[in-house]
Amino acid sequence: MKDHQHIADALQARMAQLSERVERLEEDLRQPLDPDFAEQATGMEASEANEALEGASWAEMAQIRAALSRIEDGTYGICVSCGDSIAPARLEALPFAQQCIDCARGR
Ligand SMILES: [Zn+2]
C-alpha cells in the first residue's frame, strides 16, 4: 500500500473535511425554522440545499472509503474491467477511478 501512500493521505484529509462539513450541515438542519413566514421560506430553501450538499458529501465519502480499502488490499490503481494498471496521471486527476482510461471510454 506504500505505493499509494500520498493518495491515501490526501483521501484521508478530504474525508476529514467532508465529515466536518456533514456535521455542520446536520447542526444547521436541526435549527428550528424561523416563525416569520418570509424567513421560513428562505430557511426551507436553505435546508433543501443543505440536504443536497449533505447527500453529495456522503456519496463522496463512500467513494473515498472504497478507494482507501482498495489501497489497503493492494487493488488500487488496477482497472476493474481489464486488470491493467491505471495511469498515475489519471489517478492524480481522479483518485476514485476504478477503470483505466480505455475501459472508461468504453473501448
Ligand atoms: Zn481497463
What would the mean pLDDT of 53-78 be, rounded to a whole number?
95
Instruction: Report the chain's C-alpha Rg in angstroms.
Output: 19
Compute, in angstroms, the gap from residue 47 CA to the centroid of ligand 1.
41
Average pLDDT over the chain, rounded to an integer = 88
The percentage of residues in the chain with a pLDDT greater than 90, rounded to a whole number, is 66
CA angle at 41 for the pair 35 and 43, rounded to the nearest 5°: 75
Would you call 53 exposed, middle or buried from its count of C-beta atoms within 10 A (0-12, 13-18, 19+)?
A: middle
Task: Give the distance, in angstroms, between the CA of residue 71 and the centroid of all CA atoms in the same chain.
Answer: 16
Three cell numbers, residue 62 = 463512500
More confident residue, 33 or 47: 47
Whether pLDDT at 52 is above 70:
yes
Compute, in angstroms, the gap from residue 3 CA to the centroid of ligand 1.
20
The predicted pLDDT at position 37 comes to 61
Compute, in angstroms, the gap from residue 71 CA to the centroid of ligand 1.
18
Helices and strands (H, E) in the chain, number of each type: 4, 0
